[in-house]
Amino acid sequence: MAVDLLLGLQWGDEGKGKIVDVLTKNYDIIARFQGGPNAGHTLEFDGIKHVLHTIPSGIFHKNAMNIVGNGVVIDPVIFKKELDALDQFDIDIKSKLFISRKAHLILPTHRLLDAASETAKGKAKIGSTLKGIGPTYMDKTGRNGMRIGDLELDTWKEKYRTLANKHEAMIGFYNVDIQYDLEELETEFFDSLKTLKALTFIDSEEYLYQAQKAGKKILAEGAQGSLLDIDFGTYPFVTSSNTTAAGACTGLGVAPNQIGDVKGIFKAYTTRVGSGPFPTELFDTDGETMGRVGNEFGATTGRPRRCGWLDLVALKYAVQINGVTELMMMKGDVLSGFKKIKVCTAYNYKGETISHLPYNIEAENVTPIYTEMKGWAQDLTKMNKAEELPQALNTYIDFLEKELEVPIKIVSVGPDRTQTIHR
């Protein structure tokens, strides 16, 4: 049985949490394969709004197993808070949530290093969520990291101390003013580790292999978006993991020939948090309206998101890199009321018209070229059948499908599970 993927195709925040939640009924296992608590996956159902950071979005479904894969980085302090917030739902966490022994741990000093590095960068800062993601992946590739499996060894505290001491020396090297009380941070960290250690640790690649052999249906849930991929995103304004399809293979131990459907999620417009180039960004009332109506504030940091029209050049690139087989368009409802909808179909790149994503998409090199389409005024949020969608929106969807050469299977018209139209 193949493993299906679900990926964000823009700069994150496309609505992956909602879609995983909607799709979970078709799967036995939901597995996260990269990123960490920099992600914020928002789910809404039965009048409740819930944000998950590290725990897979299948956790609310009785029959789904949830796996945190080896490619994920885990902050025990945030993880404990996530678990505490789940208390009200009566979920048997020990039997429904398994963690890979090969996943890496985010230490308090990783978070401090993130802050020191960003402060030292000044104006060139990435706009990191400051959750310690970059420094933790640096220790992973530098072969110094601490893994979940280390917690099962008697020597883990010594390993922790050695690494934390090294981090403290590195923080000093940055020579910036970072205030912290490590003793206090460590008390919270060690306390949270007790909760983490009470969970089930597994060799997740073996577990997933056996599950596949047994015919279980598996969905790999991506975090962030393709344009934040460490290799293919807008480097250096990216996160530190492979957010694209290949990341699911390395982040779960799934062989490339075992990948089935690749479900790609995009918003009907574009948003970005943090720094970095964004060709279709709007600085006018249209951008403000998208932000206000779309409630575009980071689920993890609360920061306002930058907003702009849909960038088909970037979206095509993401479809291509990931081998997307079906698309899901989110937040179509937010565009209701715009008289004209614009879509960027090409770039003017240093005076030349191009339709591929070039190495450098900084504003001084790239000006978007737009196709203008008619808007629609109808409120979509109460609609639940494809036939109810306004003609102008259907024209927009048809145009995107033709350009992207992939069918749009789901149109989401609101944050709730029920506000989902299947086509």
Q: Which of 165, 178, 172 is nearest to 115 (CA)?
A: 178
Instruction: Please pick, among 4, 21, 41, 50, the residue that the annotation labels catalytic.
Output: 41
Q: Which of 148, 228, 318, 357 binds ligand IMP (CB under 6 A)?
A: 228
How many angstroms separate the CA atoms of 8 and 267, rounded? Answer: 9
How many angstroms separate the CA atoms of 280 and 308, rounded? Answer: 5
Q: Provide the residue type at 384 as one letter.
A: N
Q: Which positions from 88 to 127 touch ligand IMP by CB under 6 A, shown as an x/- string?
A: --------------------------------------xx
239 binds ligand IMP (CB under 6 A): yes
* Least Cβ distance, residue 76 to ligand IMP (angstroms): 17
Instruction: Please pick, among 4, 13, 139, 416, the residue that the annotation labels catalytic.
Output: 13
Helix (H/G/I), strand (E/B), else coil: 343: strand
Stretch 21-40 residues interacting with ligand IMP (CB under 6 A): 38-40
- State the distance between the two ends of the chain, measured CA to CA, in whole angstroms: 25
Nearer to ligand IMP, 308 or 345 (CB): 308
From the centroid of its chain, how far is CA 76?
A: 19
* Least Cβ distance, residue 231 to ligand IMP (angstroms): 14
User: What are the angstrom distances between the C-alpha of 325 and each of 174, 215, 259, 311, 374?
Assistant: 45, 21, 11, 19, 28
User: What are the angstrom distances between the C-alpha of 90 and each of 31, 67, 210?
Assistant: 21, 19, 28
Q: What share of the chain is helix, strand, coil (3-state, %, to 5)?
A: 40, 25, 40
The pair of structure tokens assigned to 72 is 């994920």
Which window, 6-14, 144-152, 184-192, 357-365, contacts ligand IMP (CB under 6 A)?
A: 6-14
Nearer to ligand IMP, 311 or 341 (CB): 311
Nearer to ligand IMP, 238 or 313 (CB): 238
Q: Which of 5, 9, 13, 389 binds ligand IMP (CB under 6 A)?
A: 13
Q: Contact at 8 Å (CB) between 149 and 201?
A: yes
Q: Which of 213, 310, 325, 323 is nearest to 266 (CA)?
A: 310
Q: Which positions from 245 to 284 touch ligand IMP by CB under 6 A, shown as an x/- string?
A: ----------------------------xx----------
From the centroid of its chain, how far is CA 210?
A: 27
* Least Cβ distance, residue 239 to ligand IMP (angstroms): 3
* Least Cβ distance, residue 328 to ligand IMP (angstroms): 17
* Least Cβ distance, residue 57 to ligand IMP (angstroms): 13
What is the residue-wise DSSP string for 112-159? HHHHHHHHHHGGG------SSHHHHHHHHHTT---BGGGGGSTTHHHH
* Least Cβ distance, residue 273 to ligand IMP (angstroms): 4
Q: Which of 342, 332, 339, 128 is nearest to 240 (CA)?
A: 128
Does residue 41 have an active-site annotation?
A: yes
Q: Contact at 8 Å (CB) between 392 and 373?
A: yes
Nearer to ligand IMP, 43 or 421 (CB): 43
227 binds ligand IMP (CB under 6 A): no
Residues binding ligand IMP: what is the number (CB under 6 A)?
20
Give CA torsion, residues 392, 395, 399, 400, to 10 deg.
70
* Least Cβ distance, residue 383 to ligand IMP (angstroms): 27
Which window, 10-18, 143-151, 154-162, 397-405, contacts ligand IMP (CB under 6 A)?
A: 10-18
312 binds ligand IMP (CB under 6 A): no
Q: Which of 54, 70, 100, 128 binds ligand IMP (CB under 6 A)?
A: 128
Nearer to ligand IMP, 96 or 267 (CB): 267
Does residue 13 have an active-site annotation?
A: yes
Q: Which of 229, 234, 273 is nearest to 251 (CA)?
A: 229
Stretch 167-226 residues interacting with ligand IMP (CB under 6 A): 223-224
| Interface residues toward ligand IMP, by CB under 6 A | 11-13, 38-40, 126-129, 131, 133-134, 223-224, 228, 237, 239, 273-274
The residues carrying an active-site annotation are 13, 41
